[in-house]
Amino acid sequence: MSPDTDAPTPPAADGAAPRFTASAPAGVAAAPASGGAAAGGVASASSCVAAEPVAGGAHVGLEAVDSRPGSAAAPASPASASRGAAVAGRPELRIPAGLQWKALSGRTIRAALREGDLPFGFAAPMIFFLCFYVPLRRSMEAGGLDYAQYLLPVIVLQGMFFTAMSAGDRAARDTFSGMGTRLRSMPVRPWLPMAARMSANLVRAVAALAGTLVIGHVFGFQFHDFAGAVGFLLLALAFAAAVVVGADTLGVATGKPEIGASALLAPQLLLIMMSTGFVPAEAFPGWIQPFVRDQPVSQAAAALRGLADGEFPTAVAIAAVWCGGLIVLFAALSVLVERRRP
């Protein structure tokens, strides 16, 4: 008789525990019972699997089969099922949040490079600076203004608005394509997709800021001290964060790129053109001057202008409050939108 075939089972004595038979290939050893004696049954296995330890130092197999006619196997407990999954060598895969963030951010940045969004973000402020500087310089400098120094802050803010439009478009496309739904079905933390989009949008904002400063330097714009330059950059990026979070929330909520871009175009044109960024408030009709002077773009432009000149006017605090308030408002709306998504 082959050693791998089932051996005949002798009848059980009265009151004795029934014996078990097992079909196991060579390499699967019978597990010792509690107290050091050999068990009457061994695991039925299709591969060489080690037996599990249980309480009291005894070992049992993963599956026990009663060889008596009419007998049924006892159902496995949840604890033994979970141990069986662990023994199967399939541990749960946990990817650190940092690696997930890096992968999602890199995906968005590579797409922006491939589609030309980052190069456009760098070049667009240069084009807009020239479009306003060339026709208006003579008339504005006739009144004693250094127009390059006066104009550049609003071009920075316009670049941040274009960054926000790009952010809204990309968020809407991710929602429309089902990317957000797929990420929610995976072991990805809920805040990671938005954090990754914000990181990619920050790169886009830095590209726009760099392009603006390059063209401004060519035409005479300069910082008057280091502290003012740092404050200028931080305030510009804070403004970018405020408008980008709002645009991203709108894109996720609509899920339609064409709607997001159209909805953002009108407000940014209104706020940019009806501001003190291109001409002083006195150049507007008297009835609209209060709005022109106090709206967020005008306050941010005045703050950037003062910081570039090495000053810290009241407009810096007002602009910081505007940026902080908008970030809190749009972040709360973003959380609400995410919670209501199916």
With helix as H, strand as E and coil as C, how does the chain read?
A: CCCCCCCCCCCCCCCCCCCECCCCCCCCCCCECHHHCECCCCECCCCCCCCEECHHHCEECCCECECCCCCCCCCCCHHHHHHHHHHCCCCCCCCCHHHHHHHHHHHHHHHHHHCCHHHHHHHHHHHHHHHHHHHHHHHHHHCCCCHHHHHHHHHHHHHHHHHHHHHHHHHHHHHHHCHHHHHHCCCCCCCHHHHHHHHHHHHHHHHHHHHHHHHHHHCCCCCCCHHHHHHHHHHHHHHHHHHHHHHHHHHHHHCCHHHHHHHHHHHHHHHHHCCCCCCCHHHCCHHHHHHHHHCHHHHHHHHHHHHHCCCCCHHHHHHHHHHHHHHHHHHHHHHHHHHHCC
Co-location of 103 and 16 in the same domain = no
What residue numbers bound the domain in which 57 lies?
1-92
**Minimal CA–CA distance to 295: which of 170, 154, 185?**
154
CA angle 302, 304, 308 (to 5 degrees): 115
Domain boundary among 61, 92, 123: 92
**Per-residue CA distances from 158 to 83, 161, 213, 246, 266 (Å):** 59, 5, 13, 15, 13
Calculate helix-pair angle for 192-218, 226-254, nearest 10 degrees.
Answer: 130
Co-location of 72 and 159 in the same domain = no
Co-location of 76 and 103 in the same domain = no
Co-location of 88 and 101 in the same domain = no
Co-location of 68 and 145 in the same domain = no
- Predicted pLDDT at 127: 95
- Predicted pLDDT at 14: 46
- Predicted pLDDT at 341: 67
- Predicted pLDDT at 169: 86
Q: For every one of its 342 residues, what pLDDT tens digit does the chain have, with 9 covering 90 and above?
A: 444 444 444 444 444 444 444 444 444 444 444 444 333 443 333 333 334 444 444 443 333 344 444 444 444 444 444 444 444 555 556 777 677 777 778 888 888 888 888 999 999 999 999 999 999 999 888 878 899 999 999 999 999 999 999 888 888 887 777 776 677 667 677 777 778 888 889 999 999 999 999 999 999 999 999 999 999 999 999 999 999 999 988 888 888 777 766 778 888 889 999 999 999 999 899 999 999 999 999 999 999 999 999 999 999 999 999 999 999 999 999 888 877 765
- Predicted pLDDT at 253: 85
- Predicted pLDDT at 338: 77
- Predicted pLDDT at 141: 85
Cβ-based neighbour number of residue 33 at 10 Å: 17
Report the first-to-last Cα separation within the chain, whole angstroms: 63
- Predicted pLDDT at 209: 95
Co-location of 86 and 147 in the same domain = no
Co-location of 164 and 231 in the same domain = yes
- Predicted pLDDT at 89: 54
Co-location of 66 and 106 in the same domain = no
- Predicted pLDDT at 266: 84
pTM, two decimals, is 0.69
- Predicted pLDDT at 134: 92
Co-location of 270 and 285 in the same domain = yes
Domain boundary among 57, 92, 127: 92
Co-location of 235 and 124 in the same domain = yes
In the block, residue with structure tokens 């479009």: 131
Domain boundary among 92, 127, 160: 92
Co-location of 63 and 165 in the same domain = no
Number of domains within the chain: 2
- Predicted pLDDT at 336: 87
Co-location of 113 and 150 in the same domain = yes
The amino acid sitting at 272 is I
